[in-house]
Amino acid sequence: MKRIVIFASGSGTNAENLIKFFHNRENASVIQVLTNNPHAKVLDRAKKLKVSALSFNRIAFTKTEDVLDILKASKPDLIVLAGFLWKFPEHILSAFPNKVINIHPALLPKYGGKGMYGMHVHEAIVANNEKETGITIHYVNENYDEGAIIFQAKCEIHSLDTAQDVAKKIHELEMEHFPKVVAQLLDE
């Protein structure tokens, strides 16, 4: 059985979608959700779905081995960032080479980097009159949104679309594609 650990910072819709997708699978399951936000809705979602969920602070994540030790004990086959806003520390990345992936709400390399998440991305895309956008699933490295691209899916942007309209389109792409790509990676 392949083991998935999810990192999230907010509401956790992608985390919930992944947990439900893998719930009755024989070959993989989400075994844990970790968050940097003790008030994140993802904690409630995980609890409701009977998945272990813990929160941690920046010191435990970047300055000590606390989060690394939790991960080593969990033995994940894949670490999935689903709306996780902190840069991943090198000591965790080196302990799990090519096992940490992220989903980004734009077609990287455009609209990536520090501060480019959620509505910030959608607002920038609309402000720049882009004709298309999409999602990018990529490996995580030491730089924001610069890891090797695994998968992209696109959608059109119409001239009257607002940032909220773009967010809705992106959310639909995430719900459709993210679990399938995670499953494919676990099958490799």
Q: Please tell me the distance from the alpha carbon of residue 138 to that of residue 72, in angstroms, as a whole number.
A: 22
Range 10-35 average pLDDT = 96
pTM of the predicted structure, to 2 decimals: 0.96
- Domains belonging to the chain, first-starting first, are 2-187 (3.40.50.170)
Dihedrals φ, ψ of 110, to 5°? -70, 145
| Structure confidence at residue 144 as a pLDDT band (50, 70, 90) | very high
Q: Please tell me the distance from the alpha carbon of residue 139 to that of residue 78, in angstroms, as a whole number.
A: 11
| Three-class DSSP labels, 67-122 | HHHHHHHHCCCEEEECCCCCCCCHHHHHHCCCCEEEEECCCCCCCCCCCCCHHHHH
Which residues are 101's β-sheet partners? 80, 139
pLDDT surpassing 80 at residue 61: yes
| Structure confidence at residue 132 as a pLDDT band (50, 70, 90) | very high
pLDDT surpassing 80 at residue 188: no
Range 102-114 average pLDDT = 96
As a whole-number percent, the residues of the chain with pLDDT over 90 amount to: 98
Each residue of 148-173: pLDDT tens digit?
Answer: 999 999 999 999 999 999 999 999 99
| Structure confidence at residue 67 as a pLDDT band (50, 70, 90) | very high
